[in-house]
Structure 1
Amino acid sequence: MVPRCPLCRSPVPTPDAPPSAAALLAPARWPAWLGVALGWCAARTPACFQRRIGRVLGPLLWHALPRRRRVVEANLALCFPALDAAAREALARENLAQTGMGLFEFLRAWWGRVSATSPRYTVEGLEHLEALRAEGRGVLLVSAHFVHLELCARLLTRHVPVAGMYRPHGDAAMEWAVKAGRLRYA
């Protein structure tokens, strides 16, 4: 029987079956698993080390991800047409340095310990969420896709339950690992 929406009775899409263990562990997935293992280890390093290494990744990302660099440059040209090319390039390089640092925030959110991070963060407006929950009302939080979104969601789950939507990763092994990390807190 096909599941249907209780309101309009239209068919509800169901998620594809998860890949088998054999498919996840196939040799073609080994590079992804190596990346997961490195990410898991990196998630457990001190936050100050993560920020330094992430900042160093910025110049590497500048050269290693030319497509991403072009997207950043095009967006900056659209947003800041009055800036000259050198100023936009400086912003683009800083963006990629922040992206490098943000990568470690993703890793920490998925697989790390946030207990050392928590004292540095505050949640403003939590009383509004708690008041609505006390009334039995749900809340839809909308955010731009900032690099620290995952870590913010993990920190917020210490106060209120959170669920999110996302586009699945293209690699089955990475999708499994990221989903497992997210399900630890959301």
Structure 2
Amino acid sequence: MHPRYWATWVGLFVFFLLTLLPMRFTDWLGRCLGSIALRKNIKRFNIVKTNLTLCFPDKEEAEINRMVDEHFKAQYRSLVHYFLLWWRPISVVRKKIKTNGFEKITQFQSQGKNVIIMLPHSVGLEFAVAAISMDHASIGLYKSMRNSVIDWVVANGRIRFGRVNDAKLFTREDGLRPLIRETRAGKVLVYLADEDMGRRNSIFVPFYGVQKATIPVLGRLAKACDAVVLPCVTCYDARNKHYTISLLDEIENMPSGDDEKNSLVMNKSIEQVIDYCPTQYLWTLRYFRTRPQGEASLYE
């Protein structure tokens, strides 16, 4: 236990104690933290507002500002919830999750098809990962964090729900081969497809009508794995204090054999997922960071 991590451990212990309190209190606390972050983190505020303005051009500025405010509150509320996800008994976590459409997984598997779940970056995405891995052998990608304590907590928290089903995590450095191998062997692949990964290996296709650098991998994975792709919606129900995780119908014409068509269909599907609870999408990411040649940055 290196001294440089003592503050991290103290903070984690404080948040562990918070998981013992009623969710109405942790919801309130998370939203208060979100209100503070909204005022203090000007850089993130500008990113969120830019994203929402680009994606919802028909909305008035007052409505965009309301969505920005609600997003920060939703994000920090879910951040507080993650400590419950990581540390409370699985039986407790299960009560905080309601699932819809999960029978589709076994239905397709019984037909000899493999399954890829397309999971966009919502503020509560870790609850979706937990819901999937609780009952299904699954695999996914994991991005290591700089703080080794936080990295251990997050990775362990993500994998613990699927240990009984031999869930596995891979890094981007592992490449696609282990993902394809495990998916073809019958595991459910949880794939996050919406980040801007830079110009290399990306193509530009519309996302909410704005050109976005998109990695055309999902269609290739679906073809290589002989898999259907099911979009996943993750929304927190503040009234009933649970996360609703829904698997929508399979994406039609995926794969098509054409990277551009696959990417366009994928982005359209992500839009449909976002529209279920728009302020709970992770708008703090710079989805439009990479621009077509000669086009100025949208975040300056």
Bucket of the pairwise TM-score, normalised by the shorter protein: 0.7 to 0.9
Q: Please name the residue that 2:116 is paired with.
A: 140
Distance 1:104 1:177 in 2: 14
SS in 2 for 1:92: helix
TM score, norm. by length of structure 1: 0.75
When the two structures are aligned, how many residues end up with a matched partner?
Answer: 162
- What is the match of residue 136 of structure 2? 160
Further displaced range: 118-127 or 30-39: 118-127
Runs of 4+ deviating beyond 6 Å: none
CA positional deviation for 1:141: 0.7
SS in 1 for 2:47: helix
TM-score (norm 2): 0.49
**1:8-19 aligned within 5 A:** none
Separation of aligned partners in 1, 2:158 and 2:83: 10
The corresponding residue for 1:84 is 60
Whole-Å separation in 1 of the counterparts to 2:157 and 2:144: 13
More strand per residue: 2
Q: Which amino acid aligns with 2:80?
A: F
The more displaced of 52-61 and 119-128 is 119-128
Q: Trace 1:1-186 onto structure 2 (pairs within 5 A).
A: 25-113=1-89, 115-116=91-92, 118-119=94-95, 121-134=97-110, 137-186=113-162
Contact kept? 1:55, 1:100, Cα under 8 Å: yes
RMSD: 2.3
CA contact (8 A) 2:97 2:127 kept: no
- The structure whose residues are more often helix, as a share, is 1
**Alpha-carbon separation, structure 2, partners of 1:166 and 1:44:** 28
* SS of residue paired to 1:44: coil
CA-CA distance at 1:145 after TM superposition: 0.7
Post-superposition shift, 1:93?
0.6
Q: Distance in 2 between matches of 1:61 and 1:102?
A: 14
Report the Cα offset of residue 143 of structure 1.
0.9
1:143-163 CA distances to partner (integer Å, 9 max, x unpaired)? 101111111221233321232
Distance in 1 (CA, whole Å) between partners of 2:64 and 2:81 is 25
CA distance in 1, matches of 2:92, 2:152: 26
Aligned residues of 1:72 and 1:92 also touching (Cα < 8 A) = yes
